[in-house]
Amino acid sequence: MQPLLHIYQQLIEALDRAGPWVGLLLLRLLIGWEFLEAGLEKYNGQNWFGQVRDDFLFPFNLLPAEWSWNMATWFELVGGVALIVGLGTRFFALSLMVLTIVATAAVHWPADWSTLAELAQGFNHLPAAELPPEQVAEALLQLIANSHQALGDAHPQAACSYLVLCLLSDAAFSIHEGDCCLGLIEQSGTIDWLNSAHCAANWQGNLTHAEIAQAPSRHRLTRCFSARRASNPEINHWPLEPNQHWLLATDGFWAGLSPQEQQSFLRDGNLPAPPTDDDISCLSIITLPT
């Protein structure tokens, strides 16, 4: 019995000695891996800082985008490894904290407007006469640009994704910024997603929506409707046919739900236990038969 008590006491003493640094070790491993993963994405990716450089806090907004990209990449790579192994932790913790503050102000701020009612009201000012698709698109882009300025003044820290689908008598086109996506529902029920999501995971524009949904960096938008960056809408033209079933969806729908859950949501209008905290919204539109 005495040997067992001795082993128990030694174990307790070892745990007491380890206590002060085990918790910090786990925290360093977690944070270090997050920054290392972000650095690897930048190292293997393409520089998109040029689109958001003006949103960086002073004095980083004065640096060339290439400098900022390389600094962020290598501080995340080297700093992530240093935090994991425990070298220079105070220096790299402070450096990565500054990097995080700049990134939060420029890119990661919560992407929600308090309301888009003012933007929706602006569509009432479009010309009522029949116009060619190109002129309708130009009018919409001008409306979005005007609304961007007005809403930016009223909500200087806000941002959002948006998607506009315009169905004319003989043409269809979409305008979007951010991660709202347009799809067509086939007769089989399969959803064919058409437009690209403007996020860091899809910086090349060559990933499928299923691949983007698995990437943590999909939450980092490279384009959005924000007062802190220039508006840069993407416009796409689509073939228009009778009985087409269009679907406009938020990322909570196309990325947060499985194909089976998407079908259930479209059928029932809700899910008993949503698997994501993201906004799950969609708008279904069916064109009239000829």
**The pTM is what?**
0.56
Confidence of residue 117 (pLDDT cuts 50, 70, 90): low
pLDDT band at 111; cut points 50, 70, 90: very low
Superfamily for domain range 117-286: PPM-type phosphatase domain (3.60.40.10)
The pLDDT of residue 184: 93
- Torsion from C-alpha of 176, 178, 179, 180, nearest 10 degrees: -30
List the Cα angle 137/138/143 in 5-degree steps.
95
Determine the residue type at 274: P
End-to-end Cα distance, the chain: 90
- pLDDT value at 44 more than 50: yes
pLDDT digits (tens, 9 = 90+) for 52-95: 677 788 888 788 888 888 888 898 999 889 888 888 888 888 88
Please count the CA atoms within 13 angstroms of the CA of 268 that sit on its side-chain side.
11
Query: Residue 18: is its pLDDT beyond 70?
Result: no
Residue 274 clears pLDDT 80, i.e. is over it = no
Residue 112 banded pLDDT, cuts 50, 70, 90: very low
Question: How many beta carbons lie within 10 A of that of residue 38, not counting itself?
Answer: 23
Decide the pairing of beta strands 159-160 and 162-167: unpaired
- Going across the sheet that includes 181-185, the strands are 191-193, 181-185, 245-249, 282-286
The bridge status of strand 225-226 relative to strand 191-193 is: unpaired
Looking at residues 168-174, what average pLDDT do you find?
A: 85
The whole-number pLDDT of residue 113 equals 42
Higher pLDDT, 192 or 169: 192
Q: What is the pLDDT of residue 108?
A: 53
d(CA 248, CA 184): 9
- Residue ranges of domains in the chain: 2-108, 117-286
Residue bearing tokens 């002073």: 58
- Phi then psi for residue 242, to 5 deg, are -65, 150
CA angle 169, 170, 171 (to 5 degrees): 105
Q: Residue 290 — pLDDT band, cuts 50, 70, 90?
A: low
Taking the CA atoms of residue 210, residue 196, residue 107 and residue 138 in that order, the dihedral angle to the nearest 10 degrees is: -160
